[in-house]
Structure 1
Amino acid sequence: MWVSCARRFGVWIAALAVSGGPVQAEEPKPDEVKLPPLQVLLEKPVELPGNKLTTRVVRVVLPQGYKTPLHTHEGPGPRYVLRGRVKVEEGGQVHEYGPGEVFWESGQWTTAENIGQGEVELLIVELAAVK
């Protein structure tokens, strides 16, 4: 049996040598790669004091029915709802957001309330001047 396997292996090696080696797919050239179109979720001009910024990305999970106390963040920035439904009150305006939606907080006093079933998970990006 070992002799038979060795012969087959030898035949396979010989075939590779004659053919120039195993066939490998060529990598596509950069101009041949088609990316899906970008979907802009939010675009907002921002004026911040100074040229240097501290950027923080924070993940927040609010339990069902929870409402934050009145608070501010280190700076303005986009907020992305990963899951759940949230009601945000800021600057006298009230808005509701769900999964996949992006909204802007200005850095003013705000509250956020979980108005859905289950937890709310938010991704918060804060843009603040370096202290």
Structure 2
Amino acid sequence: MLATAIKSALLLIATGLLAARVSPAEEAPMPPRQILLEKMADLPANPINARVIRVSFPRGFKTPLHTHEGPGPRYVVKGKVRIDEGGQINTYGPGEVFWESGQWMSAENVGDEEAVMIIFELAKPKASAP
């Protein structure tokens, strides 16, 4: 009788432990999200060649007038950059995002330290050589 009571008690304990293990864990709340840029855009091709490029500008550096292979968002990681695109001039700092259209432009580091940007480029695929 004692053996049966012990077995029953152990079975109840084991069932309780098992139930505790398989019960759903509390779901952690989703971390907050912040939209940095939202833009409707026509893509230059289908499919596109998507590239993510990190670029660093030394203090005082200014690019010559140039274009990129495709438009896309640009994210400033560090420093302060002045962008002149199509005659429109804007200055951006860390955490700011802007849309580059693919027009002729220049970028200048106008801060007191190195500037770092991440370029998300959406371009037509390059034609392969025959």
Structure 1 residue 92 displacement after superposition: 1.1
Q: 1:48 to 1:118 in 2, by over 3 A?
A: same
Q: How does 1:44-123 map to 2 (within 5 A)?
A: 44-123=39-118
Alignment correspondent of 2:5: none
Q: Work out the CA distance in 2 between the residues paired with 1:117 and 1:61.
A: 14
Q: Work out the CA distance in 2 between the residues paired with 1:49 and 1:27.
A: 46
Per the normalisation by structure 2, the TM-score is 0.76
What secondary structure is seen at the aligned counterpart in 2 of 1:122? strand
Segments ≥4 residues shifted beyond 2 Å: 18-21, 26-29
Deviations 1:15-39 (A, max 9, x none): xxx8879x98x7735xx22112310
Per the normalisation by structure 1, the TM-score is 0.76
Q: Work out the CA distance in 1 between the residues paired with 2:67 and 2:94.
A: 23
What secondary structure is seen at the aligned counterpart in 1 of 2:112? coil
Q: Work out the CA distance in 2 between the residues paired with 1:126 and 1:46.
A: 13
Q: Work out the CA distance in 2 between the residues paired with 1:77 and 1:106.
A: 7
- Residues 70 and 121, structure 2, Cα contact 8 Å, conserved in 1: yes
Q: 1:27 to 1:85 in 2, by over 3 A?
A: farther
Equivalent pairs: percent with the same residue?
55
Amino acid at match of 1:106: S
Unpaired segments of 5 or more residues in structure 1? Answer: 1-17
State the superposition RMSD in angstroms: 2.1
